[in-house]
Chain A
Amino acid sequence: SSGINAEWPLRPGLTEDSYNSFILLQDKLHQNIGRERSLVSIGTHDLDTIQGPFKYHALPPPEIKFQPLNQDTVMTAPQMFDIFRKNYLKPYLQIIESSPVYPLITDVNGTVLSLPPVINGNHSKISLSTRNIFIEVTAKDRKKAGIVLDTICGAFSEYCTTPHTIEAVEIVQADGSTFSSPKMGSRIEEYDSAELCLKSGIKTATPEQLADLLTKMCLRASVAGEKLKVEIGPTRHDILHQCDVEEDIAIAYGYNNIPQVLPDLYTIAVEQDVNKLSDSVREELARCGFTEVLTFSLCSRDDVSVNLRIPEAVGGAVQISNPKTFEFQVVRTTLLPGMLKTASCNRNMPLPLKLFEVSDIVVKDTLTETGTKNYRYVCALFAGKTSGFEVVHGLLDRVMLMLDVKDYHIQQTSDPMFFPGRGADIILGTKKIGHLGILHPEVLEKFDVTLPCSVLEFNLDPFV
C-alpha cells in the first residue's frame, strides 16, 4: 500500500545519524511523556556486553558500585551522586535521593546496566559498532512505560536487519506471574465514513479517498461498507478519540486545501461593564493630562507592605510559592509599587510627572472559589517640585464628576503611608473605597523617588 517504501535498503547497524537520532528520541520522551524522567526513564544497552536474565531490584546506595557512563572509575552511588550534583544530572537525583534504596538493573553476572532514572553503566554503553540493543524502561506509570517502549521500538526497528522486527522479553513479576514486553499491540477501530469529515469540513472525499489519506498518515485504513476500518498501531498512542483520526485526515488532505466558510451565526456583542467603564475612565484621566502606565501584577512582599509603611498588609496578599526572584513573591494588592517604580525610573522627564493606571489587584477572599478576588483599581500619581496634593484632589473630584457621583466625600486619615496631616480616605456613601494624600518621605525613600508625590487610589467596582 502507499506510503511505506518497501524497497528501503537500510544498512543494518547504527550510523552516526541514526545513533544521534536514537539518543534524541530518548531525550524527548524523557522530557515530555516521561515528565523529566520522574514518570518514565529509559535505558539502552549493548546487548553483546551483558548477559540475561536481568534483575530489576533495589539496594542501599553504598552497596551500589559500578562505573557510570562517561566516568573513568568504579564508584559507589553516593560518590557518583556527589559528582552529578554539579552537572546536568542534578535535577534527576531528587527523584530517588530520599529513598533508603535505589533502583538497579543488573545482569546475571552482577554487571550494572543502569541506576534509573539517573545514569547508565559505562559497561553496556552503545557505540556505532553495536549490533544488538537491549532496551529497558522503568516508570511510575505502567501505561506510560508501555507507550514509551512502543514508541522507541516502533521508531527504531526500521534499522533492524529484518526491518520492523523486535525480540520480545519475558518479564517475571514479583508475584511470579509473567508477561511479554513490548506489547506493540494494534487495535482496529471502526468509524462511520460519513462522520469522519464532519470536523474538518472536507466535503469532496469518497470513503476510498479517506482510507488512502489515513494510510498515508500511517493509520492503515480500508473501506468496509459504510464504515472505515482503521488499524491503530503501537506508534499511534496519540489516537484517543475519533477526533484524532479526523485531524489526521485533515492534515493529509492539507489544511490549506480546505475551503473557507464564515460561520453564519448572527450575534449581538455584549461587553463586560467593568472593562467598558475602565476604558472610559482611562480616557478621562488622559484628558486630564495624565500619562498611562502598564506595570507588573507581581512584586515583592515588601513592596505592598513594609515599603508603604503598612507591614501588616502583607497578610492580605496572595503569595507565590518558590518564586525565582523576590519580584515574584506576591500578587499586588495596590497599584502603587508599579507607579512609584515608574516614577523612579523616569527621572529625566519634565516635571511635574503625572501618571495613572487602571488595572486589577488581587487579595485573599475566603468567600470565593479560589479564595482570592480581583478588584479593578484606579491609581494616579503626581510628582514634582511640590507635592501636588491639590492636583490629585482635583483629579478625584473630576473623576467623580465624570462618574456622575454625588455622594462621596473625603475625610482625614492617619494611615502611616501618608505624610502626617496630609492623607484622606475616600468615602462613597458610608464605605471607604480608596484614599489619597502626600506619600510619607520614608515611602519615597524605599522606592528611590526623590520628589514629593501625591497619590490617589480607589476601587472602581462600586461604580460599575
Chain B
Amino acid sequence: AVVSTQSGHYGRDIKAEQKQISVWELTDEGKSFVANGSYEFVLYSAVTKDGILQKELMKMPNAKIGFSKAMTLGWLVIDKKHEDGPTVFRKVDDATDVVKTMLEDINTQKKVDEKKIQDLKKRKLITPVVTKFYLVTKGTSFNTQIERPEADLTADMLQDGSWKEKSFKEYNFKAKGAPITSGYLHPLLKVRTEYRRIFLDMGFSEMPTNKFVENGFWNFDALFQPQQHPARDAHDTFFISNPEMTDASKLPADYLEKVKSTHENGGYGSTGYNYDWKISEAQKNILRTHTTAVSARMLYKLAQQEEFRPVKMFSIDRVFRNETLDATHLAEFHQIEGLVADRNLTLGHLIGILYAFFKKLGIEKLKFKPAYNPYTEPSMEIFSYHPGLKKWVEIGNSGMFRPEMLLPMGIPKDVNVIAWGLSLERPTMIKYGINNIRELIGHKVNLNMVQENPICRLNKV
C-alpha cells in the first residue's frame, strides 16, 4: 500500500519517507533479572551476617556468575582460613541491584548510559530490535477525495469539460503501438506494378498476353526457331495432351506457307535451315515458353496494316518451362519483354533504350556481351554491376529480331525490331534477399512476409 501511494499520480498527494529505529529489548534472562533480581544480588542476599560456607553458596543456581560478579562489585569477601572451611561474608552492609534497575529502566524506555548498555549486551541481557517504518506526510496536492487517473481523453470529458480537472496516467512511449489490421498486396506483384509503370512512362503499350496455351507455330516457327531445336523437346517444353493440336485451318494460310518455305529453303537473303518442315509440329499445343510468342502475333498483326506504323510494346506475364526444378527455378515464372519496331533502328538504339529502362531501376552502368538466341541476331546479354555482391551480374537478354522472322510477316525491309527480356522473379529475389523462389511464389509462401514487405521502390537500391 505504501509503495502504491508513491506511484503515479499519488506521489504528489502523499509523501512517504522510509525511517528506522533501533530499540533494546530484554532477553528472557534479562526479564528474569527484573522479576527476581540479578544473579549477583540474589547471591548477596543469600549471604547472612554470620557468613555462609562457600561450598554451600556455590550450590545455588547461577552461583558461579553471581559470585564472580558480586566479588567484582565488592559486595562479598571470602575468608579462606575460616575454621569451618572457606566462608563467604558480606563486605558491604547494603547493595543496590544496579543491573536490575538498569534493566527496568530499559524496559520502561528510560534513558540508560551507553557504556552500561554495552555491558548489558555483552551479558546477553538485552538485544537490539530494529523497526523500519514510513513517515507519511501530506503532499502538495493532498486531497481527502479518492480519484483514479484517466488513461485516455474521451468524448464525454470534452463534452462536460471534465478533462480540465482530471489527471491522466503516464503513457508508455517505449512500447509498440497497436497492430493495424490491413490488407496486403503480393510482393512480386508490387514489383510487377512498378515495371508496368516504367514501360508506360516510356510510352510502351501493353500486349494482350492472356493466353497461356500456344501452338508451336507462334511459339517457335514464326520466330524462325527450327523444329529440330532441342528447346522444342518434351524435356524443356510442356506439351498439351488435351486439346493436343491447333486446327491448321485456324493458322493464317499464306503466312504459314511463307514460314515453311523460309525454314526449308531460306529466301529473303537467307540460306534457311534446309530440313523438312512439318505442319504437325507447328500445330502442337504447348504451354508458352516465352511471351515472345505474343510479340510475334502482334508484329504479324502490325504488318497486316495498310501502312506501317512504328510501335513500342511490352508485356509482363507467366511462362512455363519443363526444366529441372531447384531453389531458383520453378515450372512457371513471369517474363518481362519490351520491343521497339521502327525504321533504321540499330544496336545503338537498343543500347540507348536499355540504358533508359535500367536507369529507372537505379542501374546506371551496363555492359553488353555477345549471346545467342535462335530468333535474334545480333544478340546481347546485359550485365550490370551489383554493389552489394561486388560483381557484374546478368540482368537480361536482348537483340534484334532476325529478317527471316520479320520479312515473311510482311514487315518492311528497313524496319528493325529491337527487343529485350528479363524475368520478374530474379530482380525481386535479389532486391528482397530471398534465396528460394518458393518463398516468393506459390502456396508455401509465408504470409507474414507478404504482410511485412515494404513499398516497392525499384530505383532505390
Q: Is the beta-carbon distance between A364 and B242 smaller than 8 angstroms?
A: yes
Contact of B212 among A243, A274, A297, A369 (CB under 8 A): A297
- 19 CB < 8 A contacts A-B: A35-B229, A199-B400, A258-B351, A263-B418, A265-B310, A271-B205, A275-B196, A282-B185, A285-B183, A286-B185, A291-B183, A292-B450, A294-B445, A296-B443, A298-B320, A346-B447, A349-B447, A369-B246, A372-B212
Residues of A within 8 A of B370 (CB): 247, 251, 255
A331–B445 Cα distance when bound, in Å, is 20
Contact count band on B:
35 or more
Name the residue of chain A whose CB is nearest to the CB of B271. A240
- B305 CB within 8 Å of chain A: no
B348 touching A261, Cβ below 8 Å: yes
Contact of A279 among B182, B193, B247, B441 (CB under 8 A): B193
- Total interface residues on A, CB under 8 Å, equals 84
Chain A residues with Cβ below 8 Å from B188 are: 294
Alpha-carbon separation in the docked complex, A376 to B208 (Å): 12
User: 8 shortest A-B CB distances, which residue pairs?
Assistant: A201-B346, A201-B348, A321-B241, A371-B243, A286-B183, A341-B443, A247-B378, A255-B368
Tell which of B213, B273, B448 touches A372, judged by Cβ atoms closer than 8 Å: B213
Instruction: Spot the interface stretch: B2-10, B111-119, B131-139, B231-239.
Output: B231-239
Min CB gap A355→B, angstroms:
8
Q: Measured between C-beta atoms, what is the minimum distance from A96 to chain B in Å?
A: 18
Interface centre among A198, A259, A267, A328 (most CB of B within 10 A): A267
B68 to chain A minimum Cβ distance, whole angstroms, is 82
Contacts of A283 in B (CB 8 A): 185
Given contacts A263-B312, A321-B240, A322-B241, 9 further A-B contacts (CB under 8 A): A241-B402, A247-B379, A250-B378, A286-B184, A286-B185, A291-B450, A294-B445, A320-B239, A369-B246
The interface residues of chain A lying within 8 Å CB-to-CB of B38 are: none
- Contact flags B190-229 to A (C-beta < 8 A → 1, else 0): 0001001001111111111111111100000000000011
Q: How far is the CB of A393 from chain B (nearest CB, A)?
A: 17
Q: Is the CB of B442 within 8 A of A244?
A: no
Q: A360 — which chain B residues lie within 8 A by C-beta?
A: 210, 212, 318
* Alpha-carbon distance A31/B238, docked complex (angstroms): 19
Distance between A2 CB and nearest chain B CB, rounded to angstroms? 20
Residues of B near any A CB (own CB < 8 A) = 181-186, 188-189, 193, 196, 199-215, 228-230, 233-234, 238-244, 246-247, 250-251, 266, 268-275, 285, 287, 310-312, 318, 320, 322, 330-332, 340, 342, 344-349, 351-353, 355-356, 367-370, 377-380, 400, 402-404, 416, 418, 441-448, 450-451
Knowing A32-B230, A293-B443, A298-B332, the reply to whether A349 touches B448 (Cβ < 8 A) is yes
Contact A141 B275 (CB under 8 A): yes
A342 at interface, CB cutoff 8 A? yes
Residues of A within 8 A of B275 (CB): 141, 143-144
Residues of B contacting A268 in the complex (Cβ-Cβ under 8 angstroms): 203
A322 touches B213 (CB 8 A): no
A285 to B380 Cα, complex, angstroms:
41
Shortest distance in angstroms between A353's beta carbon and chain B's nearest beta carbon? 8
Identify B377's interface contact among A141, A244, A298, CB under 8 A. Answer: A244
A251 to B368 alpha-carbon distance, docked (Å): 10
